[in-house]
Chain A
Amino acid sequence: MRPIFLLAALPFVGILGGITFANRVEPFVLGMPFILFWIVLWVVLTSVIMAVIYHFDPANREDGQ
């Protein structure tokens, strides 16, 4: 278990934990109700987080070669 893998817990915290606090309609962000914006934001952030993990994961370095 590498410390960088702990990053993968963030989407779970953000989506499953944060949803209780983000559960509101106002304010609208980019035309979306706040809760929808919150989830979409986390979908995008998850991609970023997984890209970071992929970059630092040694398993992918061996496979690439």
Chain B
Amino acid sequence: MNLALVVIFVFLAFALFLGIRARRGQDMNLEQWTVGGRGFGTLFVFLLLAGEIYTTFTFLGGSGWAYGEGGPAFYILSYGCLAYVMSYWLLPAIWRYATEHRLHSQSDFFVKKYDSKGLGVFVSLVAVVAMVPYLALQLQGLGIIVSVASYGTISALVAAIGDLLPFLPQTLADTNIGIVALFVNFVVLVAVSFATGGFAVRREQSA
């Protein structure tokens, strides 16, 4: 048991503790679960936004790209910066509209704003198709990070499954079928990411 592993497990335990703790005294419903009962403060939203933009791509993809390709990797700094300039006008407008109409998700917004159920379904489908490979990649990246950080003691697959652990108390304690479905989705994602990842490695070796 090396020091890195201790740090990883302390963080995992802390995340689990927070996950269990957070439910106390809260009536869990869809609004609580998706948008925290619309009670997020400025600092928390700021941290969430930071967590949103610093993904495993920042640590693995970005640095790997800069190492391999050099200068072109600077686009990462540029697009993030310019996207947030545009968000200044875009996001608060969406946020106000969503609060006013008590919306929960992206597809809710399209259903309400354009008064079209079909468009909402379409947006959901596009989101799922886009998010599955994206999340699979993120989990695979996280798995590699934890695996490397543990000096190879934990394999990447186990690490990726471990990344799901903070979701577990929520899933077990809640009869909400949507959350169970979400957890199953994540497990499927891990399976998909390693099936395709394994495939890519095999192809590389044979090439």
Contacts and interface: CB of A to CB of B under 8 A. Distances in A.
Interface string B56-100: 000000000000000100100110011011001000100000000
- The SS class assigned to the B binding surface is helix
Contacts of A50: 84-85, 88
A20 to B, nearest CB: 13
A30 interface: no
A11 B82 contact: yes
Which interface residue of B82, B84, B88, B92 has the most chain A CB atoms within 10 A?
Answer: B82
Interface in A18-57: 19, 35-36, 39-40, 42-43, 46, 50, 53-54
Given A11-B82, A35-B71, A40 B77 contact: yes
A4 interface: no
Interface residues of A, number: 17
Contacts of A40: 77
Contacts of B88: 8, 50, 53-54
A55 B81 CA distance: 19
Contacts of A59: 92
B46 to A, nearest CB: 13
Contacts of A54: 88
Contacts of B84: 46, 50
Nearest to B66: A36
Interface residues of B, number: 10
B23 to A, nearest CB: 31
A59 to B, nearest CB: 7
A53 B77 CA distance: 21
B71 A15 contact: no
A16 B92 CA distance: 25
A41 to B, nearest CB: 11
A11 B81 contact: yes
Nearest to B86: A8
Interface of A: 8, 11-12, 15-16, 19, 35-36, 39-40, 42-43, 46, 50, 53-54, 59
Given A15-B78, A15-B82, A46-B85, 11 more contacts: A8-B85, A11-B82, A16-B78, A36-B74, A39-B77, A40-B77, A43-B81, A46-B81, A46-B84, A50-B85, A53-B88
